[in-house]
């Protein structure tokens, strides 16, 4: 029962914050609402018993990405202009509604092969150790894990090159 209440609170918080991000005209308020949305999603991960992902979500999304976005807002001086909408406000609605309907229809009408007894899911397994074993163990994901640092180094170098002021 507690799980049901927690799910609805977190779902309403995440959706409300996301709608606030789209609806708010103040750019800074948008960033704060986005952080709220990320926090609510971290709560959803905890409900799904993915505690490691919840911690990583708070560290990376709320911590790193949130700070980066606030910094970018400060640097671009766009607060004075606000977050306006363009002329696609009405034409975009049917597109979004159609995709929402399509996704929900597909999600509800597919016969998912639920593992074991649905009421007992998600299972109680310690996720950090299991994820580590899954990545580094037999038939693991060591090659993707090795590609991630290459990607991150490329990212850092390209970001520095892009933002560097060229001397005239």
Partner 1 sequence: MTIGLSHYLILSAALFCVGLYGALVKHNAVVILMCVEIMMNAANVAAVAFSQFITPTAFTGQVLVVFTMAVAAAEVAVGLAIVLTIYRNYKSIDVEKIDLMKW
Least distance in angstroms from the C-beta of 6 to partner 1? 9
Between vectors from CA 77 to CA 28 and to CA 22, what angle results, nearest 5°? Answer: 35
What tokens were used for 58? 């708070």
Least distance in angstroms from the C-beta of 119 to partner 1? 5
Q: In terms of CB distance, is 96 or 167 closer to partner 1? A: 96
83 binds partner 1 (CB under 8 A): yes
123 phi-psi bin (left φ>0, alpha ψ -120 to 50, beta other): beta
Residues numbered 42-71 forming contacts with partner 1, rule: CB under 8 A: 44-45, 47-50, 52-53, 56-57, 60-61, 64-65, 68-69, 71
If binding means CB under 8 A, how many residues of this protein chain bind partner 1? 86
B/e letters for 85-107, b = 16+ CB within 10 Å, e = fewer, are: eeeeeeeeeeeeeeeeeeeeeee
Q: In terms of CB distance, is 125 or 168 closer to partner 1? A: 125
């Amino acid at each position: 029962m507690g799980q049901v209440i927690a799910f609805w609170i977190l779902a309403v918080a995440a959706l409300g914050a996301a709608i606030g991000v789209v609806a708010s005209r103040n750019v800074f308020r948008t960033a704060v609402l986005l952080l709220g949305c990320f926090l609510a999603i971290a709560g959803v991960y905890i409900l799904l018993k993915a505690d490691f992902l919840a911690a990583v979500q708070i560290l990376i999304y709320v911590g790193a990405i949130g700070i980066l976005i606030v910094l970018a807002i400060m640097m671009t001086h766009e607060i004075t202009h606000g977050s306006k909408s363009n002329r696609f406000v009405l034409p975009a609605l049917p597109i979004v509604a159609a995709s929402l309907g399509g996704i929900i229809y597909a999600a509800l009408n597919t016969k998912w092969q639920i593992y074991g007894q649905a009421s007992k899911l998600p299972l109680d397994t310690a996720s950090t150790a299991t994820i580590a074993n899954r990545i580094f163990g037999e038939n693991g994901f060591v090659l993707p894990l090795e590609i991630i640092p290459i990607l991150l180094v490329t990212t850092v170098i390209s970001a520095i090159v892009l933002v560097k002021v060229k001397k005239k």
